Amino acid sequence: MLKIGEYLKIYFNELIGLLNDMAPWLLLGFLIAGILHIFFPQKKINALMGKNSTKSVINAALFGIPLPLCSCGVIPTGISFYKNGASKGSAVSFMISTPQTGVDSIMVTYSMLGLPFAILRPFIALVTGLFGGIVTNRISNREAPVSSTLPGNSSNGNGGRNSLIRMFQYAFVEFLQDIAKWLIIGLLVAALIAVFVPNDFFASYIKNDFVGMLIILAASIPVYVCATSSVPIAAVLLLKGISPGAALVFLMAGPATNAATISVIGNVMGKKTLITYLITLIIGALTFGLLIDYVLPREWFINSHLGHLGGHEHGLLPNWLKTGSGITLFLLLINSYLQRYLKNRKQNKIDNLIKPLDMNEIKVFVKGMTCNHCKMSVETNLGNIEGISKVNANIGNGEVTLTGDNFDLDKIKSVVEGIGYTFQGK
């Protein structure tokens, strides 16, 4: 029987191994995310999603797959696209395809699950996004969009040095802040599973692969896990005997569904759209899971993941690079929390010092803000209400400070709930 100290030592060794395996590819993914953010702003994407056509659905899925957007930011972004004139089908296509992948999660998938999974994930995201969007356009009539302003980067990529600085600021501070919490949780949970769940646990207790998929699907739908943090969990579950198809179900359903997502889509876009969204993901996950388990060679998905636990190691990545990347990522995670703390503290001081004499101020609470994109969405849309001159949202406690000379709480509530968040009043 191992002592607590020995368990802790094994746990931290697993945790460090997982971090080092992910770090080089995750850092590369962040860098590409920064490039996409500067040179392919969301306002340009919105212009290609407006028509109620198959082409707009294809555009939405293609743009959504690599988009550097954390899972919690996908739904408000998709709702904003819809409110700004995008067809309902293209909005659904975007909301299905985007959370399943992203440049960072694709890189991490390659490093931890191997090339077959890294190729299949974006392909499946494209197919399911197209299917869901096309079906939505056929069964739904396009309602008149509610006037709203799409948040997003308006940079055209021609700012020289400023664009370069902005790219790194977004990649290694803002975007990292958005996924830091869920990335850490994913690593901690994966290490726990690696230490405390016996090898071949799932193979011993769940004999049928399809039953395993259904169990994973039922557990994944209501729970939030981002695309990147789902990878180490899926990798460790594979080592414990889960089938590759069930691992794929987790990689699809975990990031793309959760209780909040289901509530928002149902309330804003209607029950038909919600049912289409869920059925597309469920059928897609099970269909491709069965394809992996019963058609494709299983060794493609079993023997090419988690190098530090005995699987395949990528020869291009020496240990010094993996260790150095792990240390760098760890420091960046600390910096992301420090920067957020300092920014909130600075903003509070500014708010107290620079309040116009002829302006009033109220504080309201908004539930559902979990990332910088959420903050930007709330601030941009509320800032466009007549009578409001300044908005500052705090994603830590959900408090939104409004400065202006006229406040219409019914209008504020309508705008907040129209972009997918919950208005909780003053």
Q: Are residues 15 and 90 in the same domain?
A: yes
Q: Mean pLDDT, the chain, as a whole number?
A: 81
Q: Which of 331, 366, 381 is the last residue of a domain?
A: 331
> What confidence score (pLDDT) does residue 221 get?
83
Q: Which of 102-116, 327-341, 357-371 has the lowest mean pLDDT?
A: 357-371
**Per-residue pLDDT tens digits for 358-408:** 568 889 999 888 777 788 888 888 988 888 888 988 887 889 989 888 888
Mean pLDDT of 228-234: 88
> What confidence score (pLDDT) does residue 151 get?
46
The CATH number assigned to the domain holding 401 equals 3.30.70.100
Encode the chain in three state secondary structure: CCCHHHHHHHHHHHHHHHHHHHHHHHHHHHHHHHHHHHHCCHHHHHCCCCCCCHHHHHHHHHHHCCCCCCHHHHHHHHHHHHHCCCCHHHHHHHHHHCCCCCHHHHHHHHHHHCHHHHHHHHHHHHHHHHHHHHHHHHHCCCCCCCCCCCCCCCCCCCCCHHHHHHHHHHHHHHHHHHHHHHHHHHHHHHHHHHHHCCCCHHHHHCCCHHHHHHHHHHHHCCCCCCCCCHHHHHHHHHHCCCCHHHHHHHHHHHHHCCHHHHHHHHHHHCHHHHHHHHHHHHHHHHHHHHHHHHCCCCHHHHCCCCHHHCCCCCCCCCHHHHHHHHHHHHHHHHHHHHHHHHHHHHHHHHHHHCCCCCCEEEEEEEECCCCHHHHHHHHHHHHCCCCEEEEEECCCCCEEEEEECCCCHHHHHHHHHHCCCEECCC
Q: Are residues 236 and 92 in the same domain?
A: yes
Domain residues for 301?
A: 4-331
* Angstrom distances, CA of residue 40 to CA of 8, 57, 158, 173: 44, 18, 12, 19
pLDDT band with cut points at 50, 70 and 90 for residue 129:
very high
**Per-residue pLDDT tens digits for 53-89:** 788 889 889 888 887 676 666 777 777 677 666 788 8
Q: Are residues 93 and 236 in the same domain?
A: yes
> What confidence score (pLDDT) does residue 44 get?
63
**Per-residue pLDDT tens digits for 275-333:** 999 999 999 999 999 999 999 998 888 765 544 444 444 445 788 998 999 999 999 99
Q: Which of 101-110, 208-217, 219-228 has the lowest mean pLDDT?
A: 219-228
pLDDT band with cut points at 50, 70 and 90 for residue 119:
very high
Q: Between 352 and 365, whose confidence is greater?
A: 365
> What confidence score (pLDDT) does residue 353 get?
62
Q: Which of 331, 365, 381 is the last residue of a domain?
A: 331
Q: Are residues 327 and 383 in the same domain?
A: no
Q: Are residues 166 and 310 in the same domain?
A: yes
Domain count of the chain? 2
> What confidence score (pLDDT) does residue 275 get?
92
> What confidence score (pLDDT) does residue 93 get?
92
> What confidence score (pLDDT) does residue 222 get?
78
pTM of the model: 0.74
Residue 338 belongs to some domain of the structure: no
Residue 345 belongs to some domain of the structure: no
Mean pLDDT of 38-47: 65
Q: Which of 283, 316, 331 is the last residue of a domain?
A: 331
Q: Are residues 60 and 147 in the same domain?
A: yes
Q: Are residues 83 and 144 in the same domain?
A: yes
Q: Are residues 310 and 359 in the same domain?
A: no
Residue 410 CB neighbours (<10 A): 8
> What confidence score (pLDDT) does residue 102 get?
84
Classify burial at 92, counting beta carbons within 10 Å of its beta carbon; exposed 0-12, middle 13-18, buried 19 or more. buried
Residue 336 belongs to some domain of the structure: no
Is pLDDT above 80 for 134?
A: yes
> What confidence score (pLDDT) does residue 261 get?
76
How far is Cα 399 from Cα 401, in angstroms, rounded to an integer? Answer: 7
Which token pair is 106? 């694709």
Residue 103 belongs to some domain of the structure: yes
pLDDT band with cut points at 50, 70 and 90 for residue 163:
confident
pLDDT band with cut points at 50, 70 and 90 for residue 196:
confident
Q: Are residues 167 and 128 in the same domain?
A: yes
Q: Are residues 402 and 261 in the same domain?
A: no
Q: Are residues 162 and 266 in the same domain?
A: yes
Q: Are residues 318 and 369 in the same domain?
A: no
